[in-house]
């Protein structure tokens, strides 16, 4: 039985990178693999053979070359056998050299529509790579019903990986250019045609442009990038008669972000982050103008949700001010305040007293 190291690990080795995922393929049946590898077992809905902590799948088609042609992208259509011989898609090495993201076959995306989101994720993680023309063509030809039928977890998983990439906005831009935002990111379909705000602050940017710019300014903090994606969703629900203004978009964005997060089956942390980004980003952008009590309240609300670091990263990126440094200093002051013993365990009265003491501490620090 021949066993091959396949996919991303081989790609990364050829690019001089340390592989993070090790996937294997074998010729023959699963039953034959189990018989040849004592201790192996079949797991999961896709019937992966798990052996010594690694995943093994049977080759598709009639052999290794047929399997490579059935993969998603040419740069992932690579394999090494036990003797170290390299097998590759006919265009794989060319595309690695020229930094091209190209489907491995004319029907690669149609065969598995989740590959549309995988392609977009690769664009976010490889910012200096370009999409081959046939990639865009295949995206545009995808059946919307086939996209809609995908499991939410598969789409959400690709999004989360893209959020951690160095150019996360490319995930949205690739899907938008290919007409694949709907249904999973349907809220953003009109974003390219809606002004981001008054030209004084946003120039000629659309909501999509602004969202993408803020996402990329947050790169390196995946949760902050997710908050950037969500923060202006309310602008997609403001009356067109008021454009380029978007009065009240912070409150309008909360239910939109909630729906997006639930559709993608993301975690409760991502839900809290989306709600917080929408509801609080406008106040955070004017942090230096806020009264002491308002500053205390936003600092405390965000911190109680465990979101201070990514939220203030978003605030800096959105407002183009360094509010995070001041917010961190003032949050340290709030955390140092201790409620006197006599005021503890009184419910709402204790909360009010703590707030008063924290506001006083903030006001005192501001006078120094």
Cα separation values, 339 from 149, 252, 300, 331, 365, Å: 54, 36, 15, 16, 18
Last residue of a domain, one of 82, 98, 114: 98
Asked if residue 18 is part of any domain, the answer here is yes
Residue 297 has pLDDT above 80, yes or no: yes
Last residue of a domain, one of 39, 70, 98: 98
User: In the predicted model, what is the mean pLDDT of residues 238-248?
Assistant: 96
| For the chain, percent of residues with pLDDT exceeding 70 | 99
User: In the predicted model, what is the mean pLDDT of residues 250-255?
Assistant: 98
User: In the predicted model, what is the mean pLDDT of residues 178-207?
Assistant: 93
Instruction: For residues 318 and 231, give the distance between their C-alpha atoms in angstroms, rounded to a whole number.
Output: 9
Asked if residue 144 is part of any domain, the answer here is no
Asked if residue 317 is part of any domain, the answer here is no
Residue 287: CB partners within 8 Å, gap ≥ 6? 295, 298, 315, 319, 321, 323, 326, 327
Measure the CA dihedral 283/288/289/292, to 10°. 90
Tell which residue, 270, 260, 249, 262, has the closest CA to residue 163: 270
The neighbour count for residue 231, using CB atoms within 10 Å, is 33
Supply the pLDDT for residue 168: 98
- 124-170 pLDDT per residue, tens: 999 999 999 999 999 999 999 999 999 999 999 999 999 999 999 99
What is the domain-level CATH number for residue 61?
A: 3.30.460.10
| Residue 12: its H or E element | helix 8-14
Asked if residue 8 is part of any domain, the answer here is yes
Last residue of a domain, one of 78, 98, 118: 98
Question: For residue 367, what pLDDT band results from cuts at 50, 70 and 90?
Answer: very low
| For the chain, percent of residues with pLDDT exceeding 90 | 92
Asked if residue 38 is part of any domain, the answer here is yes
Asked if residue 361 is part of any domain, the answer here is yes
* 13-22, 116-125, 140-149, 263-272: least confident range: 13-22
Supply the pLDDT for residue 79: 97
Instruction: For residues 111 and 105, give the distance between their C-alpha atoms in angstroms, rounded to a whole number.
Output: 10
Asked if residue 303 is part of any domain, the answer here is no
What 3-state class would DSSP assign to 48? strand
Supply the pLDDT for residue 185: 97
Residue 368 has pLDDT above 80, yes or no: no
Instruction: For residues 332 and 329, give the distance between their C-alpha atoms in angstroms, rounded to a whole number.
Output: 5
Question: For residue 111, what pLDDT band results from cuts at 50, 70 and 90?
Answer: very high
The CB-side HSE value for 361 (13 A sphere, CA atoms) comes to 18
Instruction: For residues 221 and 1, give the distance between their C-alpha atoms in angstroms, rounded to a whole number.
Output: 44
Instruction: For residues 6 and 99, give the distance between their C-alpha atoms in angstroms, rounded to a whole number.
Output: 19
Supply the pLDDT for residue 362: 95
Per the prediction, the chain carries an average pLDDT of 95
- 67-110 pLDDT per residue, tens: 999 999 999 999 999 999 999 999 999 999 999 999 999 999 99
Considering its fold, how many domains does the chain have in total?
2
Range list of β-strands (E), the chain? 3-6, 23-26, 41-43, 48-51, 54-58, 78-80, 86-88, 100-101, 130-131
Q: Find the domain containing 77 and state its range.
A: 1-98
The distance in angstroms from the start CA to the end CA of the chain is 76
Residue 257 has pLDDT above 50, yes or no: yes
Asked if residue 273 is part of any domain, the answer here is no
């Amino acid at each position: 039985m021949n066993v091959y190291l396949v996919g991303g690990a081989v790609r990364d080795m050829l690019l001089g990178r340390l592989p993070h995922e090790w996937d294997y393929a074998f010729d023959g049946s699963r039953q034959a693999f189990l018989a040849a590898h004592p201790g192996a077992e079949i797991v999961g809905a896709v019937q992966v053979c798990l052996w010594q902590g690694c995943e093994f799948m049977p080759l598709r088609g009639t052999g290794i070359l047929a399997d490579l042609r059935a993969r998603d992208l040419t740069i992932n259509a690579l394999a090494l056998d036990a003797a170290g011989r390299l097998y590759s898609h006919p265009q794989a090495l060319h595309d690695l050299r020229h930094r091209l993201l190209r489907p491995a076959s004319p029907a690669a995306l149609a065969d598995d529509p989740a590959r549309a989101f995988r392609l977009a994720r690769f664009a976010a993680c490889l910012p200096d790579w370009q999409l081959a023309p046939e990639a865009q063509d295949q995206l545009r030809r995808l059946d919307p019903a086939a996209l809609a039928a995908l499991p939410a977890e598969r789409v959400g998983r690709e999004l989360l990986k893209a959020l951690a990439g160095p150019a996360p906005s490319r995930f949205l831009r690739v899907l938008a250019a290919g007409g694949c935002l709907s249904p999973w990111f349907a809220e953003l379909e009109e974003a390219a045609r809606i002004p981001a705000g008054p030209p004084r602050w946003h120039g000629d940017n659309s909501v999509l442009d602004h969202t993408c710019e803020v996402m990329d300014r947050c790169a390196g903090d995946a949760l902050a990038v997710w908050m950037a994606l969500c923060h202006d969703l309310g602008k997609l629900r403001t009356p067109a008669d008021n454009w380029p203004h978007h009065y009240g978009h912070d409150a309008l964005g909360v239910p939109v972000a909630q729906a997006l997060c639930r559709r993608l089956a993301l975690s409760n942390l991502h839900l809290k982050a989306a709600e917080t980004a929408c509801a609080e980003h406008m106040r955070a952008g004017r942090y230096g103008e806020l009264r002491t009590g308002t500053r205390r309240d936003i600092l405390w609300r965000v911190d109680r949700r465990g979101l201070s670091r990514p939220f203030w990263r978003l605030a800096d990126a959105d407002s183009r001010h360094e509010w995070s440094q001041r917010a961190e200093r003032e949050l340290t002051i709030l955390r140092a305040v201790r409620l006197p013993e006599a005021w503890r365990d009184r419910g709402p009265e204790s909360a009010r007293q703590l707030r008063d003491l924290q506001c006083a501490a903030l006001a005192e620090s501001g006078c120094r």
